[in-house]
Amino acid sequence: MNLWPRSLAIGLDRLVQAPAVRTIGHAARELTGLLLPVECTVCGVQDGAVCPPCAEQLTASVLRPFRAERDAAALPLVSVSPDAGPAPLAVVAAGRYGGPLARALLGFKDHGRTPVGRHLRPAVHRALAAVPSLVGEQAPHGPGVPWTAPALLVPVPGSAAGFRRRGYDPVAELLTGPLPPGWELAPRLLRHARGRAGARARGRPGRTASHAGTASTLRRHRNAGRFRATGRARRGQGRTVVLFDDVMTTGSTLAAAWQALDGRGLRPAAAVVLAAVTAPGSEPSGGLNSGWRTD
């Protein structure tokens, strides 16, 4: 059995997560974006990573963070308090996926337009700052664990294959630089599961119930075992832990990350995403999970 490709992938995964490598790579990509003239990522016409008119529209689309779990049918069910029934994991989103935000994210993630990140990071910071007021005491902190600051922000890890394809990790790029007060980045608490252990985990039903029927259960089970908690997860004991990802659709990726940490005794209190896919025409009081209390 040839273990070299797997060993190489593991080594690359560890290398790209190193803070020094991430900082150097980020600076190089930002410089390249400034030196090479490009069309606007959003409108495709004017020059610049994001032209001024599109930048204004993009900013307007992410000014008001909101609770986004109502349309993510594969999120885990968690107990908010001993006196209340289970509810979907609380998720705060900076904006709804669509329009300028969707086009900016597409260019940022899949077309190498990393300079767009400077227009997206302020939205991430606004969402982080809104978490205490939007989630607050409703978040499940675990027995005897209050909401503590600084909270640990755990990014959903990118894969080595994704890094080789893009040359960067979009989630890590969004979290480059200082976080708002009250937050501490914990980038290596999760890792992609590999080999037979990951395959066995993906074949097992998850511990967390789904809340939107069989289709949601299947979506979440496809991702079960996708991640594993590392030895660094011990640092999160007794701390408020919050997950972070760039885009949320069904919530199955967040569910897999939640399950991995929960298996090591860490129960994430909430999640934050840059963009959430919402049902067409959904209002704050509507959505698949509208029966759950989110205000």
Instruction: Evaluate whether residue 282 is within a structural domain.
Output: no
Residues 217-250: pLDDT tens digits? Answer: 555 566 678 899 888 877 777 889 999 999 999 9
Q: Please check the confidence at residue 24 and state whether its pLDDT lies above 70.
A: no
- What's the count of helices (H) and strands (E) in the chain, helices before strands? 10, 10
Cα–Cα distance between 196 and 263 in angstroms, integer?
18
pLDDT for 8 beyond 70: no
Tell me, yes or no, whether 286 lies in a domain: no
Return the minimum-mean-pLDDT range out of 3-17, 78-92, 190-204: 3-17
Handedness of CA 104, 107, 109, 110 (dihedral sign): positive
**Higher-scoring residue by pLDDT: 45, 20:** 45
CB-based contacts of 165: which residues, under 8 Å, 6+ apart?
A: none
pLDDT given at position 166: 85
Q: What is the pTM of this model?
A: 0.77
Strands 77-79 and 86-88: antiparallel
Instruction: Identify the domain containing residue 250 by its residue range.
Output: 4-276
Contact 40, 49 (CB under 8 A): yes
114 within a domain of the structure (yes/no): yes
pLDDT tens-digit map of 53-65: 999 999 999 999 9
Is 41 contained in some domain? Answer: yes
Cα separation values, 92 from 60, 166, 181, Å: 17, 27, 17
Average pLDDT over residues 18-26: 57
Which pLDDT score, from 0 to 100, does residue 198 have? Answer: 47
In-domain check, residue 284: no
**Does residue 215 belong to any structural domain of this protein?**
yes
Question: Would you say residue 291 lies in a domain?
Answer: no
Specify burial of residue 110 (Cβ count, 10 A radius: 0-12, 13-18, 19+). exposed
Domains: count for the chain: 1
110 part of a folded domain: yes
Residue 71 has pLDDT above 60, yes or no: yes
pLDDT at 156: 96
